[in-house]
Copies of this chain bind each other. A is one copy, B any other.
């Protein structure tokens, strides 16, 4: 019975923990702990930036973020008996922040508060970076399983707490494939801002307990943690909340499962890149194995069953986007553009009630919006739709004959 399989002291960097985690994917990173099938245990996590963001009213920390450190993951956890080709069954029994309310809490994200950020165009960017190129931030105060923000008056959201990022270590072959295909993409426009993808980078690496030459080599090869890949990784799926069960492909003996990037809440798309309510905290999980599960079920990516604990909303104002871009140019079946247009329409709408565009953008990031691929066959227009829960607002946002009630609703934190 392993108790807490990975401990974190929120007042210290992930680099200074008794057993440090890692921020690159590589099969050679040694296991930080070992568990057995049917074990249930806790993993503690730092927020994805390792506490580079403060509970304050300036977005300078977002603007100046050193992205080379991210994401700080807890693990790897070895699972006895796991072999390549198995499916690792992970039950997300419970997740939560380091503190659910501010009870003499410290100043690390997760200790009673979290944040959502707009990354600047020249430091990471985000889904709407062409429209909102500058850094911005909102700080959320936790009230148990809901949150409010002094930067977003009138909004209260229920938590759909989840880990943005989790998965098993890649094999050496799979890692090589990731690096190869991503480099080919980068090579098509190597100087783009923001970049097309992030190649391996030694700077800022943390490779768990690996040291010396082995660490240096692994750091040169290790995949960055930003994209989701076939092992799962940074999928940022808001529905992987309490009670969900995920089946992760196993590529190395022992599985080497890692997890991080906890989110108190998020909407579909996590659209500002740092678009969830980011925090440190804990994940209580149980593990099992389906031997030879990848072949049995003919799968190469994770499967999952959502849990029963997603917060219940039943009223929405919904927006539509098609794959005609902001300049009026027609694209062929492009769901990315269609969803972007739906997001922009929702922002345009919320601005009529007195939010700034930045605030509206951040609401769509963190609130439990639904983002759907509604029609993907009606040439040439993909159609995506976005469902904004009306009940997160303390005023009525539904359309009516009298028009919207405009009120000055302040602004998010900006840069100095």
Q: Which residues of A pack against B, CB within 8 Å?
A: 1, 3-4, 40-42, 87, 89, 91-94, 100-104, 126-127, 143-146, 158, 177, 181-182, 184-185, 194-198, 226-230, 232, 234-239, 242-243, 247, 268-273, 275, 284, 286, 288-291, 293, 296-306, 308-322, 324, 328-336, 338-339, 341, 345, 348-349, 351-352, 370-385, 387, 391, 398-401, 403-404
Closest residue of chain B to A146 (Cβ to Cβ) is B243
Min C-beta distance of A226 to chain B, whole Å? 5
Taking CB atoms, residues of chain B closer than 8 Å to A91 are: 143-144
Docked CA distance A309–B297 (Å): 32
Taking the nearest CB of chain B, how far is it from the CB of A30, in angstroms?
24
Q: Is the CB of A42 within 8 A of B101?
A: yes
- Each complex incorporates copies of this chain amounting to 4
Contact B349 A268 (CB under 8 A): no
Q: What residues of B have a CB within 8 angstroms of the CB of A338 in the complex?
A: 335
A364 to chain B, nearest CB (A): 11
Q: Is the CB of B320 within 8 A of A237?
A: yes
The answer to whether A372 and B303 have CB atoms under 8 Å apart is no
CA distance A271 to B376 in the complex (A): 6
Most B CB within 10 A of own CB, among A41, A243, A336 = A336
Tell me the bound Cα distance from A373 to B321 in angstroms.
13
Complex Cα distance, B97 from A305, in Å, reads: 25
A305 to B382, CA, bound (A): 20
Say which residue of B144, B334, B336, B375 sits within 8 Å of A92 (CB atoms). Answer: B144
**Chain B residues whose C-beta falls within 8 Å of the C-beta of A399 in the assembled complex:** 87, 89, 247, 290, 293, 297, 303
CA distance A296 to B352 in the complex (A): 8
In the assembled complex, the CB of A233 is this many whole angstroms from the nearest CB of chain B, namely: 8
Q: Please name all residues of chain B whose beta carbon is closer than 8 Å to the beta carbon of A298 when the two chains form the complex.
A: 348-349, 351-352
Other A-B pairs beyond A87-B399, A273-B377, A306-B316, 9, CB < 8 Å: A1-B102, A196-B380, A227-B379, A228-B322, A229-B381, A236-B375, A243-B311, A301-B319, A303-B320
